[in-house]
Structure 1
Amino acid sequence: MTITYEWRGDFDNAAVNALHAEGFGHRVLDIDWLGQVGRHSLGWVCARDGDALVGFVNVAWDGGVHAFILDTLVAAGRRRSGIGAGLVAEAARRARAARCEWLHVDFDDELRPFYFEACGFRPTPAGLIAL
């Protein structure tokens, strides 16, 4: 397995929709990821094994110094192999290169080891309003 990571890489909406459905346990939706990330994101990272999209992460931002990791997705058969950490590492490198000072992420409790241990995030107080 040779995984490559590409910043702002080309992807097919259907492939990201399938990864998203698999990752979040819902039916496959018809989201225009290309339009969404093109309008709202600093960038995104695609992980590939050959031509197959096996991972994706979106890096949204405020247009200034804050970037946000969203939708970290890895194909089910490829999880726990370092692909997710590779996606986040490339996202952090590119956000730093864009002169962002902070990279934020929120996640469910079961992902604490991934984000804190594998990716190097540290706990911080935060707030959330469910809308």
Structure 2
Amino acid sequence: MITYEWRGAFEDPEVNALHAEGFGHPVLDIGWHEQLHGHSLGWVCARDEDGALVGFVNVAWDGGVHAFVLDTVVAGRCRRQGVGAGLVARAAQGARDAHCEWLHVDFDDEHRDFYLEACGFRETGAGLIAL
């Protein structure tokens, strides 16, 4: 059983480890608490029955009506079980509760089905500059 919590409690090392696993990089020492509390509308933590962090998504915003899904990640052992879609659904509800009108997401082609089919986003035109 997976539980989800909007603005759930977490420790930086557990998010760093999950992020490294999910995005295939070494474990970094990112100060998630400071970063999220300073720049995000909220985040969602997914935990298994033992309390282990198995999913995470960050919801940044513009301070107004636009929110942005970032860093959606699910532990390998929990993928393809609806955890990612559950994270995004709770992120959307959190943004809705904060009176945002739009929830944006950017994704690579390999994640197209997840975001468009499983999460209900619709495709739009967008622009991007690699910095």
Q: Distance in 1 between matches of 2:123 and 2:67?
A: 16
Deviations 1:53-72 (A, max 9, x none): 00000000000000000000
Q: Distance in 1 between matches of 2:19 and 2:2?
A: 19
Unaligned runs of 5+ in 2: none
Instruction: Output the aligned Cα RMSD.
Output: 0.5
Partner of 2:37: 38
Partner of 2:107: 107
| Superposition misfits of 4+ residues, deviation over 3 angstroms | none
Displacement of 1:27: 0.5
Q: What is the TM-score when the length of structure 1 is the normalising length?
A: 0.98
Letter in structure 1 aligned against 2:111: L
SS of the aligned residue for 1:6 comes to strand
Task: Please list, as runs of the form range in 1=range in 2, the aligned pairs for 1:5-44 lying within 5 A after superposition.
Answer: 5-44=4-43
Partner of 1:98: 98
Q: Distance in 2 between matches of 1:10 and 1:105?
A: 24
Deviations 1:31-62 (A, max 9, x none): 00011000000000000013110000000000
Deviations 1:74-107 (A, max 9, x none): 0011100000000000000110111100000001
Letter in structure 2 aligned against 1:107: F
Q: What is the TM-score when the length of structure 2 is the normalising length?
A: 0.98
Partner of 1:69: 69
Unaligned runs of 5+ in 1: none
Q: What is the count of residue pairs matched by the alignment?
A: 130
Displacement of 1:23: 1.0
Deviations 1:9-45 (A, max 9, x none): 1001111111111111110000000110000000000
Letter in structure 1 aligned against 2:105: V
SS of the aligned residue for 1:9 comes to coil
Letter in structure 2 aligned against 1:100: C
